[in-house]
Structure 1
Amino acid sequence: AAGKIASAGDDGIKIISMKDWTEIKSEKIQIRPEAKVTHMHWSDDGELLSFCTEAGWVYCYLAKLTALSATCNTRLAYLTSLREMTVIEGANENGNKVVLQTDVEPAFVALGPAHLATGMNNRIWFYSCSDQGSAQCVNEQEYIGSVESVSLNSTHACVLIEGRVYLHPIERNSGDGKTIIFPRKDREDDRTITCTSIVGNFLIYAHSNGRLQYYSLVDGTDVNEYKHQTGIRKCFPNHEGTRVCLIDNSGAAWLYNPVNDDCIAIPNFPVTAEKVLWDTSDSTVFVACDQ
């Protein structure tokens, strides 16, 4: 279970690393009230350790936390307990840290300039998380299908569900509260949206037929369109939306410039790469990484 062994003794339960067979003293479990352990069991994924004692007590300890995180510019949100998220400023170690309790154990998270989204299945909870050190739930949404991805800007959320994108205000009391669904009825040839992201005042989304589109939240209309030679699987815009890294159905990567409509191949792009992260200070630099 996660490369660890649990050993019960008179003074509690010791956790031993299978890498070097030494005790991980920081993870030792002291049983209160003191009693002999009669049974122990790891969950299949090694996340939970359950045990019972001869005094009749049953305990369940979290032994491994799922790696769940999201970034926005220099801010980072990560899971610190089953129902706890922590948001920090990566560029300033002494900056304010926001710790918030989530309504459920999240399966996915997204971070925006002023909000955090956590959710599971077809529900998302939106929290305000400014740099003032406080957080509160500002909205809860239930959708008609399982959420595949979420992206936030300062005011809106875009949610990808079963080939469609739902664009709506993050907070219930902001804007007109209207939800816009893409693709719209006037574009029936674009039935399946494969990826989406919201950057500044632009919603960027791509279709299985290779169409990449920019939608302006200010003007309420499409302002740019590019047709790729094959289907687009993933898109990763920089923080200004002035460049977009595309991964198509063949696994090849491309760099798209919406200003002049140029799209150039990225040489030696690793076939195992699944994500692209843009530099926060230089919008022309990015790194590719796997999951």
Structure 2
Amino acid sequence: MTLVPLPRLMVEPLVRNALLEDLGLAGDITSAAVIPEDHRSTVVMAARQPGVIAGLDAAELAFQLVDPAIVLTRHLNDGAAAKPGEVIATIEGSSRGILTGERTALNFLGHLSGIATVTAGIVAAIAGTKASVACTRKTTPGLRILEKYAVRAGGGVNHRFALSDAVLIKDNHVAIAGGVAEAIRRAKAGAGHMVKIEVEVDTLKQLREVMEVGVDAVLLDNMTPDELREAVGLVAGRAITEASGRVTPQTAGAIAASGVDLISVGWLTHSAPTLDIGLDWKSNHGD
């Protein structure tokens, strides 16, 4: 799948807000006091550990919004694997501007690369199966578009971006509606013809009830690989099958081998460790 960059219009407000948060009410008082205004430098962003890169557009914007004259040259692109010590990008320009944008740029790049890296690990664990790895809505408030982009950079796919994307009937919906069949009936009556309907089930008994009514997808929650295999047989291609719960790099292979179409993993976005990326000085230009 081709990784399509996010439009600048979507990314810039997020980066701008992050910079404003960091600048506070007086700006970068340290750089302004210590670094001459006309001083220029060349620095590199380099990986401290192996991982998959994501977030270079956000990192570049962090520097350019501080000073449009700063130039970032990429040596790797989003979706590429980086080795420890490998240079990801070179940045040239105002020393003050580089120092002011440094932390915001590294925050975005490290966080998003961490998500891409753990996603790539699950993708590798299920290689050779038909299953895809999907993220969820368990994202950092305000950063969903970037975090879901990072999942794609790691080789995964995206689940819903928002509540309005599709109908997903979960246990509380069923309880309030008075039963799964009634919940599905109401969803079909209320949703437009372009809206897909998915239902979460915890047992094979629930799955049979759902399939009698018919839906577009079923979320098979916290089932064992044997239960998932039986569930796939019960569905028999009549709906998309999605497994969720207790997914790790160690369990993903057996889950995928059951024949499910998707494996959704919430911790890809809410608990991925940051990839360690540093900014290293290479040379100064000016006094």
> Would you say same fold, with TM above 0.5?
no
Compare the two structures and name the one with the higher helix fraction: 2
Q: Give the alignment's TM-score, normalised by structure 1.
A: 0.26
Compare the two structures and name the one with the higher strand fraction: 1
More relative contact order, 1 or 2 (CA 8 Å, 6+ apart): 2
Q: Give the alignment's TM-score, normalised by structure 2.
A: 0.27
